[in-house]
Amino acid sequence: MKYTSLAKQAADHRISVLIGSRQVGKTTLLSMLQHELGLPYESYNLENPLHLALFNEGYTSFIRQVRKQLLFIDEYQYCPNISSIFKAIYDLHPDIKIYASGSSSLEIQAHLKESLAGRKLETTLYPLTFQEWLWGIEPALQINPMLDEPSHIDELEAFNRFLPDFLRFGALPALSALPDELSRREYLLEIFKTYIARDIKSFLKEESVLSFNKMLSWLALNNGSLLNKNNLATIAGVSARQIDRYLEVLQGTFVLALVPPLSTNKAKELVKTYKFYLYDQGVVNTIIQDFRPPELRGDGGTIREAFVFWELKKHADIRYTITYWRTSDGKEVDFVLEKDRSLLPIEVKSGWKAGKVPPGLAAFFRYYPEVREGVVLYDGPEQISQDGVHTIHFAPLYKASSCFTLLP
C-alpha cells in the first residue's frame, strides 16, 4: 500500500520524505522504487562517509555531481544542512525528483523545519501489517477487506495458526527471513540495543539514559495502559518535565503512540488521560524478556488489544482518528474510530460468545444514541447481531483493518 502511494509520487515534483523507526523497511522500499520505476536514478546513503562528505560540502558542490533526474537519499538526517540542499534543489531544479528517508521525526524537525513547507510529501512507515507479514509467509492467504462476509472455519483456523507467531516476534520485516526462535530473539535484542545506544544517546544526556531505560521497562510491562506521568516520574527518578521529554523522544522515534480519549462535552468522561502503545510486540517482548505464546501469559488480552490498535493505526490515513472511551465510573470501549464526526466503537475480547453485546459497547450506545453500529473483535467467525436499532459486527481478530469499511 505504501509502495503504490510512493510510486505515484514520482510525477510530483515535491520531495517525497519517508520516515519511520529503525528496521521497518525504509531502505528496502527505496530500493524497490529505484528498480521498479524504470527511470534513471542516483542513490546516496548518508551513513556512507563518502556520500555524507559530498553533501556536507553544500548544494553548489553536490549539484555538480548530479547527472540523473531522480535522486534517492537514504538516512539523510546525518547531514546537518540537508534542509538547505533540499530547498535549493526543489526551487532551482524542477526537473529533479527526490525520494529521501530518515529514522527520526525529531531529526527531521531539526533539519527540515519550515523551509520545506509546501515542498514535501511525508509518508510514515510502520512495521508490517498482519496481511503484509502473511504475504511473506503464506502468499495465498488474503484477508477479505470487507466485514459481513462470513469467515469459514477452515479460513479462521488458517489465519489463527499464524497469528500467535506474529504476536510473539512482532512485525519487523527482516524477521520473516530468520530460521528459528533464537535468531529472531537475537535480532530483536540487537535492534533494541542499537536504539538505546544510537537514537536515545543522541537526544539525551548520558546521565539520563539509565532513567530513560527504567521508564521504558515500565512502559513495556504496562503496554496499553493509561499513562500516568507522575507515576512514571517516581519510577524513573526524574521530574515530570523530564518524563515529557522522554515521551517526546519515544514518539519522535516512532517507538510509542499515545491514544487520546474521545473528546466530547458529555459529563463523566475522562478527557485528559492518554493510553499508550509501544510500536512492536516483538520489541516489547524483548524488553520484558517474555516470548511465551499470548494464551500462556497474563497480559494476553493486552497483547491482542495492542495488535488491534496497530492494525488500525497502520491502515488509517488523515481522514481517521483513533481514540478510546472511558467514563469516570468505569464504563469503557477499547477504541473508537472516527471519520467526519461518524463514530465506530470497537471492543477487543478473548473467549467471547458471538451475539453477546459487551457492557462497554451497550453503555457507549446509551451515551451516543446516534451511533448505530459497533464491532467486537474476538476469537470466532464473523456474525452479525441486531436488536432493531443497533448492528453489532462480530469478527475474528485478524480482520481489525476491515473496520474502516463500516464508516461512510
Neighbours of 263 (CB within 10 A): 12
Grid coordinates standing for 26? 525504509
Q: Point out which residues pair with 346 in neighbouring strands.
A: 335, 375
Q: What is the DSSP letter of 319?
A: T
Residue showing cell 471519520: 339
The pTM score is 0.91
Grid coordinates standing for 113? 523545519
Lay out the sheet containing 391-396: strands in order across.
320-326, 332-339, 342-348, 373-378, 391-396, 383-386
**Among 346, 377, 344, CA closest to 360:** 346
C-alpha angle with apex 145: 142 to 148, nearest 5 degrees? Answer: 115
Domain regions of the chain by residue span:
2-125, 130-406
Is 150 in contact with 45 (CB distance < 8 Å)?
no
Phi and psi for 325 in degrees, rounded to 5?
-130, 130
Q: b vs e for 234-245, b when ≥16 Cβ sit within 10 Å of the residue's Cβ? A: ebbebeeebbee
Each residue's pLDDT, cut to its tens digit, for the chain (408 residues) gives 687 889 999 999 999 999 888 889 999 999 999 988 988 999 999 999 999 998 888 888 888 888 888 999 998 888 888 888 899 999 999 999 999 998 765 655 666 766 788 899 989 999 999 999 998 888 888 887 778 666 666 778 888 899 999 999 999 999 988 989 999 999 999 999 888 777 787 777 666 888 999 999 999 999 999 999 999 999 999 999 999 989 988 998 889 999 999 976 655 556 578 999 999 999 999 999 999 999 999 999 999 999 999 999 999 999 999 999 998 888 899 999 999 999 999 999 988 988 899 999 999 999 999 999 999 999 988 999 998 899 999 999 999 999 999 999
Strands (E), 21-166: 42-45, 70-74, 97-102, 120-125
d(C-alpha 311, C-alpha 314), whole Å: 5
Grid coordinates standing for 139? 502468499
For residue 396, give the H/E element and its range: strand 391-396
Strands (E), 207-250: none
Phi and psi for 373 in degrees, rounded to 5?
-130, 150
Render pLDDT for 47-83 as a digit per residue (tens, 0 to 9).
Answer: 999 999 988 888 888 888 888 889 999 988 888 888 8
Phi and psi for 237 in degrees, rounded to 5?
75, 35
**Among 160, 129, 186, CA closest to 316:** 129
**Among 30, 56, 117, 134, CA closest to 401:** 134
For residue 157, give the H/E element and its range: helix 153-169
Grid coordinates standing for 374? 459497533
Q: Quickly count helices (H) and strands (E) in the chain.
A: 16, 13
Structural class in CATH, domain 2-125: alpha beta
Kindly calculate the radius of gyration of the chain based on its CA atoms and give it in whole angstroms: 23
Q: Which residues, other chains included, contact 56 with Cβ-Cβ below 8 Å and sequence gap of 6+?
A: 79, 80, 81
Q: Point out which residues pair with 261 in neighbouring strands.
A: 324
Q: Which residues, other chains included, contact 352 with Cβ-Cβ below 8 Å and sequence gap of 6+?
A: 358, 376, 378, 379, 380
SS3 (DSSP) at 377: strand
Read out DSSP for 209-228?
A: HHHHHHHHHHHHHTTTSB--
